[in-house]
Structure 1
Amino acid sequence: MKLLQSLYTIIEEKDDSFSIKLNAKHIIYQAHFPEKPITPGVCILQIIQELAEIKCHQKLQLDQVNNLKFVNPISPGDHQKIDVILNISENLNVKGYIKSDKIFTKFSILFKI
């Protein structure tokens, strides 16, 4: 399920990064969690994949998660705009992090075509 244009929108794209805006009214935040919503890890992984696909100009398939650390929760109420930094190697190993005023997620994920 694509999350672009529903859970988040792209504000700006640069060479190695995206600035995105989270949709605090998305239904996922009503369940995860209503009083203090945070972005689920599976959604963060999907966002990374979708943005990597945009950079690679092709559909990617998750192959291996080498490292995925959720350092701080991403709350759409506190951080609607976040930056996703992607460094993509030729073998489709995507390394990077998600940040705003602090680091939220660090990752190293291998995709395949």
Structure 2
Amino acid sequence: MVAHTTNLSTTAALANGQPLLVPLQCGCPSRSPSSYTPMHYQIGPGDTYWIISTTKLQNLMQYQAVERVNPTLVPTDLDVGTMVTFPIFCQCPAAADNATTLVTYVMHPRDAYVSVAAAFSVAYPQ
């Protein structure tokens, strides 16, 4: 899905800094004007909501939104391995219950299509 959305073959290499479009399913319950895609992330050593949202997820959300959608977690006391929902907000068309939202992601030298797809919890054909 990632390669198809960006119009690349699954073996093509991206140029340094080239945008990569990641398709996300955006749920729009009750025809709400906005909603979010829940991106699930497992906390690693040294991770904080701010670090994850600003570096690993390229400022796609503010860390305060992460706090709101994870009310049972204490942001200053996260255990390694804890699963956290990071909301990637989107706008929903008035006529649709679900829509696909495209997010631009800048590939880094260490990235691969598989790892980017996994980071955003979207399918990637092997």
Q: State the TM-score, normalized to the length of structure 2.
A: 0.26
Tell me which protein shows more helix as a share of its residues.
Answer: 2
Tell me which protein shows more strand as a share of its residues.
Answer: 1
